[in-house]
Amino acid sequence: MDIQVTTFETNDDHATVFTESSVEMRTNDYHDMRSPRFSRHTECKRYLFVEWPAGHNHIFENLDRRHLGVCLSGQVRFITSEGASKVISRGQTWQFVQESAPNLTAEVIGNEPFQCVIVQLD
Protein backbone atom coordinates (compact mmCIF):
# COMPACT_ATOMS: atom_id res chain seq x y z
CA MET A 1 0.00 0.00 0.00
CA ASP A 2 1.39 3.38 -1.02
CA ILE A 3 1.38 6.38 1.27
CA GLN A 4 -0.47 9.29 -0.37
CA VAL A 5 0.31 12.96 0.28
CA THR A 6 -1.80 15.97 -0.72
CA THR A 7 0.50 18.89 -1.57
CA PHE A 8 -0.70 22.50 -1.47
CA GLU A 9 1.24 25.01 -3.58
CA THR A 10 0.84 28.53 -4.94
CA ASN A 11 0.78 28.68 -8.74
CA ASP A 12 1.97 31.49 -11.03
CA ASP A 13 -1.39 33.27 -10.62
CA HIS A 14 -0.88 33.28 -6.82
CA ALA A 15 -3.75 30.85 -6.34
CA THR A 16 -3.47 27.83 -4.07
CA VAL A 17 -3.71 24.49 -5.87
CA PHE A 18 -3.26 20.94 -4.67
CA THR A 19 -1.88 17.76 -6.17
CA GLU A 20 -1.82 14.15 -5.03
CA SER A 21 1.36 12.07 -5.01
CA SER A 22 2.70 8.80 -3.64
CA VAL A 23 5.67 8.55 -1.34
CA GLU A 24 8.46 6.56 -2.96
CA MET A 25 9.26 3.61 -0.73
CA ARG A 26 12.33 1.37 -0.82
CA THR A 27 13.22 -1.89 0.89
CA ASN A 28 16.26 -2.54 2.98
CA ASP A 29 19.12 -4.79 1.88
CA TYR A 30 17.41 -8.01 2.97
CA HIS A 31 15.27 -8.19 -0.21
CA ASP A 32 12.53 -9.97 1.70
CA MET A 33 8.95 -8.98 0.81
CA ARG A 34 8.10 -8.97 4.53
CA SER A 35 10.90 -6.49 5.25
CA PRO A 36 10.06 -2.93 6.22
CA ARG A 37 10.05 -0.29 3.52
CA PHE A 38 11.31 3.25 4.04
CA SER A 39 11.01 6.60 2.31
CA ARG A 40 13.93 8.96 1.89
CA HIS A 41 14.81 11.06 4.91
CA THR A 42 13.59 14.64 5.09
CA GLU A 43 15.22 17.12 7.41
CA CYS A 44 12.84 18.78 9.84
CA LYS A 45 13.04 21.37 12.57
CA ARG A 46 10.31 20.57 15.14
CA TYR A 47 6.80 19.20 15.55
CA LEU A 48 3.63 20.12 17.40
CA PHE A 49 0.16 18.71 17.99
CA VAL A 50 -2.92 20.75 17.01
CA GLU A 51 -6.58 20.36 17.91
CA TRP A 52 -9.36 22.36 16.28
CA PRO A 53 -12.89 22.00 17.70
CA ALA A 54 -15.83 20.76 15.63
CA GLY A 55 -17.12 23.53 13.38
CA HIS A 56 -13.86 25.53 13.45
CA ASN A 57 -12.92 27.49 10.30
CA HIS A 58 -9.47 28.86 9.58
CA ILE A 59 -8.27 31.00 6.66
CA PHE A 60 -4.59 30.66 5.80
CA GLU A 61 -2.88 33.78 4.51
CA ASN A 62 0.77 33.34 5.33
CA LEU A 63 2.35 30.32 6.92
CA ASP A 64 5.43 30.81 9.03
CA ARG A 65 7.02 27.53 7.85
CA ARG A 66 6.77 24.75 5.31
CA HIS A 67 5.24 21.72 6.98
CA LEU A 68 3.88 18.21 6.72
CA GLY A 69 0.70 17.28 8.59
CA VAL A 70 -0.77 13.93 9.62
CA CYS A 71 -4.40 13.68 10.70
CA LEU A 72 -4.80 11.73 13.96
CA SER A 73 -8.58 12.02 14.32
CA GLY A 74 -11.55 13.91 12.93
CA GLN A 75 -11.79 15.46 9.47
CA VAL A 76 -10.85 18.77 7.91
CA ARG A 77 -11.79 20.12 4.49
CA PHE A 78 -9.28 22.38 2.72
CA ILE A 79 -10.92 24.70 0.17
CA THR A 80 -8.99 26.80 -2.36
CA SER A 81 -10.12 30.24 -3.51
CA GLU A 82 -11.19 28.59 -6.81
CA GLY A 83 -13.53 26.23 -4.92
CA ALA A 84 -11.52 22.99 -5.23
CA SER A 85 -11.64 21.01 -2.00
CA LYS A 86 -9.89 18.09 -0.35
CA VAL A 87 -11.06 16.27 2.78
CA ILE A 88 -8.32 14.94 5.05
CA SER A 89 -9.27 12.12 7.46
CA ARG A 90 -7.49 10.03 10.07
CA GLY A 91 -4.20 8.63 8.78
CA GLN A 92 -4.00 10.95 5.76
CA THR A 93 -1.14 13.38 5.18
CA TRP A 94 -0.74 16.77 3.53
CA GLN A 95 2.06 19.26 3.06
CA PHE A 96 2.52 22.95 2.45
CA VAL A 97 5.66 23.31 0.36
CA GLN A 98 5.70 27.11 0.35
CA GLU A 99 5.29 29.65 3.08
CA SER A 100 2.13 31.06 1.54
CA ALA A 101 -1.28 29.62 0.90
CA PRO A 102 -3.38 32.60 -0.12
CA ASN A 103 -7.10 32.26 0.46
CA LEU A 104 -6.95 28.62 1.51
CA THR A 105 -9.67 27.78 4.02
CA ALA A 106 -9.74 24.84 6.40
CA GLU A 107 -12.99 23.80 8.06
CA VAL A 108 -13.49 21.02 10.56
CA ILE A 109 -16.34 18.79 9.42
CA GLY A 110 -18.32 16.35 11.50
CA ASN A 111 -19.01 16.37 15.22
CA GLU A 112 -15.57 15.62 16.58
CA PRO A 113 -12.46 17.78 16.89
CA PHE A 114 -9.75 17.59 14.25
CA GLN A 115 -6.44 16.50 15.77
CA CYS A 116 -3.16 16.36 13.89
CA VAL A 117 0.58 16.42 14.25
CA ILE A 118 2.45 19.10 12.29
CA VAL A 119 6.09 18.51 11.39
CA GLN A 120 7.77 21.81 10.56
CA LEU A 121 10.39 21.39 7.86
CA ASP A 122 12.27 24.63 8.47
The pTM assigned to this predicted structure is 0.83
120 or 27, which is more confident = 120
Q: Is the pLDDT of residue 99 over 70?
A: no
What is residue 33's predicted lDDT score, i.e. its pLDDT?
62
Q: What is the mean pLDDT of residues 78-106?
A: 87
Indicate the pLDDT class of residue 37, thresholds 50, 70 and 90: confident
CB 86 within 8 Å of CB 53? no
Indicate the pLDDT class of residue 102, thresholds 50, 70 and 90: low
Distances in Å between the Cα of 103 and the Cα atoms of 39, 40, 78 are: 31, 31, 10
Q: Please name the residues in contact with 8: beta carbons below 8 A apart, sequence gap of 6 or more.
A: 16, 17, 18, 78, 94, 95, 96, 97, 101, 104
Q: What's the chain's average pLDDT?
A: 87
Per residue in 14-47, is it b (16+ CB within 10 Å) or e — as a string?
A: eebebeeeeeeeeeeeeeeeeeeeeeeeeeeeee
